[in-house]
Amino acid sequence: MAKTAIILGAAVWKNGASPALMRRVLKGAELYRVGRISRIIVTGGLGKYPPTEASIMHRVLIANGVPDDAITIEDKATSTYENFALSKLLTNAKEITIVTDWYHIPRSWLVARHHGFRPDFACPSGRGANPGTQVRAAVREAIAIPYYLLKYWR
């Protein structure tokens, strides 16, 4: 059954989308093309550099054949918690596919479940990704999980 995907944003750099952002959005476009999903929510607000993560993802999805009416834009979130809190307001779907990188799965799962979603995951290939960046991201996530538990689940 086709369903809704939520593509989680990643950094926008001075010169455009970060590799993580591009990996995620291209994975979302692939899922749409093969019929695994029928709706996409792109979520991510304004970081250090414009434009918003969601606006870049929207443009990339359109350029990769996803019709505009299949895409919902959430362009205010600046954290994983906000990604799901704000996306929840835009869909009635409970069973969702989360598109994010492998290292982000545990925290994304916790936050999605907290907001009532029943997620599965689709991760882009990490092929070509900087190994040092991947390790740093995994360490960051290991720290972020207890932080989120303390901050949001008191």
Tokens found for residue 58:
């929207």
With beta carbons less than 8 A apart as the criterion, state whether 9 and 58 touch. Answer: no
Contacting residues for 77 by C-beta, under 8 A, at least 6 apart: 9, 43, 44, 45, 83, 85, 86, 87
Tokens found for residue 103:
């290292």
- So what's the pLDDT on residue 147? 83
What digits encode the pLDDT tens for the residues 82-125?
Answer: 999 999 999 999 999 999 999 899 999 999 999 999 999 999 98
pLDDT at residue 2 greater than cutoff 60: no
Choose among 107, 48, 105, 52: nearest CA to 77. 52
Q: Which is higher by pLDDT, 151 or 54?
A: 54
pLDDT at residue 76 greater than cutoff 90: yes
pLDDT at residue 1 greater than cutoff 60: no
Contacting residues for 32 by C-beta, under 8 A, at least 6 apart: 5, 38, 40, 61, 65, 66, 70
- Cα–Cα dist 142/41, whole Å: 26
Domains defined along the chain, listed by start? 3-152 (3.40.50.620)
- So what's the pLDDT on residue 9? 98
- So what's the pLDDT on residue 69? 98
- So what's the pLDDT on residue 64? 98
What digits encode the pLDDT tens for the residues 16-40?
Answer: 999 999 999 999 999 999 999 999 9
N-to-C CA span, the chain: 36
- So what's the pLDDT on residue 154? 65
